């Protein structure tokens, strides 16, 4: 079954494709100007999100390696797949409220006006976002990308189409620390990654928001996991849930962007960065997006 999603006016398709094609040797994504294919395991089922892209709409279908799937996916997996498509296309946060909020702001007003269609592009699942945050903490981006690829090949499942599927918690929890440390993961990073996966897989760490489990509650529970700090939590909430008010004051790129905007000789420290970003609550996620984008503006911006 094919589903159709209208894309909003001014939608920046280039940003979406650039985010999902950061790994030139990608094993779990296939990107072209007109198509995005993403492999991911959901509830133990390997599936591929196949999204055809045009200027005004996205049409997508879900191909699952599941006996009997020709008759339709189980409703729980179908709902997760629909959510994942919204995530990977960056359709969770409407950029307009931040643009209105920052319109006359001395620091970010002009910057936001130059990038009116900027959006937060997310990982397909919350588990992917948080594992990516753990993998990427305190290392440079190219190395993080290579470790992510290793993690997919070690814990993921290959779809019948040949595309690898990003693992779910149960798949990752089956790994041993040595499966990762023998492939350039530090022991601390491997232990944190597998500790997190095990907690999610056994249900002790609930990542599903609800009346009794707010995003704030999830953030606190994540901080209680050994090896996970504030930057990892905030980045994971941003890329996983599209949470609109994440404070990325610990992010080096955010601080570098502020240094340029402030015209200062050094990056503001984390306490000062946190204080600056607090001005943009409850839109700190979009403030971060504009600061990141200011370091790598598109030619047409």
List the domain range (segments joined by +) for residue 33. Answer: 3-93
Spatial strand order of the sheet with 45-53 comes to 3-6, 57-64, 45-53, 35-42, 29-32
Q: How many domains does the chain have?
A: 1
How far, in Å, are 214, 215, 216 from residue 210 at the CA level?
Answer: 6, 8, 11
Quote the pLDDT of residue 67: 79
32 part of a folded domain:
yes
Distance CA 255, CA 119 (A): 20
**Cβ neighbours of residue 117 closer than 8 Å, sequence gap 6 or more:** 8, 10, 11, 12, 95
User: CB under 8 Å to 262, separation ≥6 — which residues?
Assistant: 107, 268
By the 8 A CB rule, do 143 and 181 touch? no
Q: What are phi and psi of 63, to 5 degrees?
A: -110, 110
What is the Cα–Cα distance from 8 to 91, expressed in whole angstroms?
A: 9
> Computed from CA positions of residues 59, 62, 68, 73, in that sequence, does the dihedral angle turn out positive or negative?
negative
Give phi and psi for 238, each to the nearest 5. -65, -55
CA atoms within 13 A on the CB side of 265: 0
pLDDT score of 70: 61
CATH number where 89 lies = 3.30.310.20
Alpha helix segments (H runs only) across the chain: 13-20, 75-88, 96-102, 109-114, 126-136, 141-155, 169-173, 177-181, 187-201, 215-223, 230-241, 252-262, 270-278, 284-295
Instruction: Decide: 87 and 127 in contact? Cβ < 8 Å.
Output: no
User: 85 in a domain, yes or no?
Assistant: yes
Structure tokens at 122: 């997310």
At residue 181's C-alpha, the angle toward residues 175 and 183, to 5°, is 95
DSSP structure string for 121-145: ---SSHHHHHHHHHHHTTS-HHHHH
Half-sphere exposure of 185 (CA within 13 A, CB side): 26
- Check: CB of residue 61 under 8 Å from CB of residue 50: yes
In the block, which residue shows the tokens 């359709």?
Answer: 91
- Residue 21 lies inside a defined structural domain of this protein: yes
Question: Phi/psi at 40 (nearest 5 deg)?
Answer: -155, 145
> What's the sign of the alpha-carbon dihedral 167, 122, 93, 8?
negative
The pLDDT value given to residue 71 = 61
pLDDT of residue 73: 85
Token pair of 188 as six digits: 């601390």
- Residue 260 belongs to some domain of the structure: no
The pLDDT, as a whole number, for residue 68 is 67
Q: What is the pLDDT of residue 297?
A: 65
What pLDDT shows up at residue 72?
A: 75
* Low-confidence spans in the chain with pLDDT less than 50: 299-301
Closest CA to 19 of 189, 274, 239: 239
Query: Inter-axis angle of helices 284-295 and 252-262, to 10 degrees?
Result: 80
- Rounded Cα–Cα distance for residues 46 and 159 (Å): 6
Residue 72, both tokens:
């339709």
User: With the C-alpha atoms ordered 226, 231, 237, 240, is the resulting torsion angle positive or negative?
Assistant: negative
């Amino acid at each position: 079954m094919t589903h159709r999603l209208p894309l909003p006016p001014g939608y920046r398709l280039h940003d979406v494709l650039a985010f999902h094609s950061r790994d030139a040797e990608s094993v779990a994504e296939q990107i072209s100007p007109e198509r995005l294919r993403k492999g991911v395991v959901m509830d133990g089922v390997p599936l591929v999100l196949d999204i055809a892209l045009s200027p005004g709409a996205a049409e997508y279908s879900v191909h699952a390696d599941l006996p009997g799937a020709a008759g339709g996916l189980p409703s729980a997996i179908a709902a997760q797949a629909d959510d994942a498509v919204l995530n990977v296309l960056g359709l969770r946060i409407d950029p307009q409220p931040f643009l209105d909020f920052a319109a006359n702001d001395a620091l970010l007003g002009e910057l936001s006006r130059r990038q009116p269609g900027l959006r937060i592009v997310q990982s397909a699942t919350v588990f992917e976002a948080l594992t990516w945050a753990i993998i990427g903490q305190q290392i440079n981006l190219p190395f993080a990308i290579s470790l992510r690829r290793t993690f997919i090949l070690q814990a993921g499942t290959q779809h019948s189409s040949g595309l690898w599927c990003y693992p779910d918690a149960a798949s990752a929890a089956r790994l041993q620390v040595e499966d990762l440390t023998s492939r350039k993961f530090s022991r601390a990073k491997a232990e944190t990654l597998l500790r997190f996966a095990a907690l999610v897989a056994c249900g002790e760490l609930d990542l599903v928001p609800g009346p009794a489990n707010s995003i704030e509650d999830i953030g606190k529970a994540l901080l209680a996991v050994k090896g996970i700090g504030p930057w990892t939590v905030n980045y994971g909430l941003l890329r996983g849930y599209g949470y609109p008010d994440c404070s990325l004051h610990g992010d080096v790129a955010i601080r570098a962007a502020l240094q340029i905007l402030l015209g200062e000789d050094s990056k503001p420290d984390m306490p000062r960065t946190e204080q600056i970003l607090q001005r943009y609550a409850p839109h700190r996620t979009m403030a971060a997006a504009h600061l990141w984008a200011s370091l790598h503006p598109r030619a047409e911006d």
